[in-house]
Structure 1
Amino acid sequence: MTDPEIDYAAVFQALPGMVALLTPELVYADVNEQFVRMSGRSREQLVGHYLFDVFPDNPDDPAATGMRNLAASLQRVLATGERDTMAVQRYDVQSLERPGRWEEHYWSPVNAAVPGPDGEVALVVHRVEEVTEFIRDRGGPIGTRARALEAELYLRARELQEVNERLRRAHAREREVALALQEAMLPTPRLKGPHRAAVRYRPAIGALNVCGDWYDLVDLVDGDCIGVAVGDVVGHGLAAACAMGQLRSALSAASRVADGPAQALDVLGRYARVVAGAESATVVITFIDFAARTITYSSAGHLPPALVHPDGTVEFLDGATDPPLDASPDPVPRPQATTAFTDGATLVLYTDGLVERRGEDIESGLERLADSLARHRDHDPETLVDAVLGELLPPAGATDDTALIVVRL
């Protein structure tokens, strides 16, 4: 016996609470019957319209924060894919019968992500409980106590908002300092000869999520050779920026005198033990010999570089992978491997913000990267790097830093 097919559209319309579906642009995609009835808006006034055009903040109340708080909650859901439950919010809703008159309402919203086939947020479920009657009970002593409690909660909410605003400004200042520090420490590629490279750094969304990742490109002493590296320091903010700068500078110096990338990582691993914040840092470094047409590489717990051959084949260089910098209590020589390339190939180094997604196997991210690199392989490095970022990073921004280096071989 087969179960009868469930009419989910009918179920959605019959849900007992106010429920709406929003697009990532915060446009109403659908609303249930309860939402129409309780909001006082017709379906035609809701579906296809921008949320905050339908329900703007009360312009006569400069202290109104309901819609601003809702916007912040929805952006968190879009950025993280996580459910966000809000505290009770006061919304002044404009009367349709008497334009210019704003009616006081109290709503308790919950916002949740609906992932699409690609794992990105395709829709947001916006569920609202109307609690105005509970907050503004007009009858007898219960109503008096409710209004007193409402006033007390309102004052406490305002105090909390002021504290949050001060914290937000402090976090914003720290982010600005961290970004400036990072820009000073991360180099602009200047390679000798005709070699072309492009680099991009994209900080994570959020006030302090910046400066965990780094990159480096150096001209090596012997012959027509360059060193290319990327690394990832655990953590964010100024502490991560300082650790990142020290590791990048140390590896840049070690690369110029080391016999190969493995020896450079050996030196860096010893140095990392005395750098605060360098715990569990990962890095991969490649030595490119243009005369011999070879790439020698070594990785300390980092994702493998991608070698894009002229025919579109993408080879991930994973033949010399070892644990992160401080994983072993005693120094152990790291492995290195060498592979050949032909003219017109492209070497790509990156950090995990480009390919890792919550709840998804890393292989899926690597497959997306390989597909994008193969399709855009004939572009110049500057165009290629922007095309890859445009395809792989979420539209609302990634929750982790991303560094990306492209070198045409």
Structure 2
Amino acid sequence: MKELLLHLLLLHAFLAVFAVQGPVSSPIYASMAAFSPEGIQLGSEEHGKMDPPKKMLIALVVASSSLAAIVFSLVCLWVCYRKNSSKSSKNGGKSSDGEKGNGLAPFLGKFKSMKTVSKAGYASFMDYKMLEKATNKFHPSNILGEGGFGCVYKAQFNDGSYAAVKKLDCTSQDAENEYENEVELLCRFKHPNIISLLGFSSDNDTRFIVYELMHNGSLETQLHGPSHGSSLTWHRRMKIALDTARGLEYLHEHCSPPVIHRDLKSSNILLDLDFNAKLSDFGLAVTDAAQNKNNLKLSGTLGYVAPEYLLDGKLTDKSDVYAFGVVLLELLLGKKPVEKLAPSQCQSIVTWAMPQLTDRSKLPNIVDPVIRDAMDLKHLYQVAAVAVLCVQPEPSYRPLITDVLHSLIPLVPMELGGTLRVTQPTAL
């Protein structure tokens, strides 16, 4: 565009100078004069007989006509250029708004192109005032759980729908990093055993993540809360273990690059109305850990952290398998991963249970009393064997989560997602 304008200006300058100073017989001038009113009327014979003043007048008329034509062309070109620029900027603006969502805050610029598992297909930036109203100004009575950087609240919106809102105090860089990491990862995941992201928001140094509401809370609350696992039958526990294994297999085998959860525990396994389990809390999750393990800060929860990661900082997908083994022991035994023996003394479930898990005479006696007489002993021994393999101190001795998954499928009734055929109705 700039080159075209420059060429037209040069042409205009050339014609103006040539029309005033150059010879009238020039081919360029002759062709221009032929299209002027005077050229049509005078003809070639009269042209040579004209007086100098008349020649000068004709030259000025032609130069003026040329200048007018050039100016008109320049105006047309400029109008076209402005229209095209306006269209392209509008298209660019629409694309950007579609990706960001209405009112997207500047600090979330890195999430422009994130896709989520939501029906809309994109992560929604939600209005803070709407979340404040839905949680009754984050009233303590709506707290569902607490984490390292804040609480999770139950929210009810104007249309009657419910959600869970995690409120994070992000005054520290660690909290901000976990927030951004979780939102970014959840936008990529799409699996029935991974919690669904509904949106995110911000208010000064506070961040919010909005998830689907899981009405039966966490596995930790069900096992170690007031009900002490009374709602968790043997088949339900096996179903929860299977769902958890399926969620981990998705992270390890079907995500590209693979994802290591790094904080798998019973409080991060959430249960819906039908006790379907979904993995949550991906703030500490990492991708491609084999290349970045030296830059990772040691993180996790005591009792679930694999020994090689705790002692040497070595993190692999087998670290998640170890944590899964601890969860499996919780489901079997009804005990917490770490229990206090005295004010200054604790004991892990792995240390306590390991000698008894491989002894068939002792194993039935340490099973959670809620399910002690509710399962086939053969199935109990199989599950205990899987748990023992998962919590092996040496990572290479632990199975892949896919192998664990295939070991559990035959122990779960068909109506709950497994392949077990039961002669009697499944106790739910």
Per the TM superposition, whether the score is higher than 0.5 is no
Q: Which of the two has higher C-alpha Rg?
A: 2
- TM-score normalized with structure 2 length: 0.24
- TM-score normalized with structure 1 length: 0.25
Q: Comparing both structures, which one devotes a greater share of its residues to helix?
A: 2
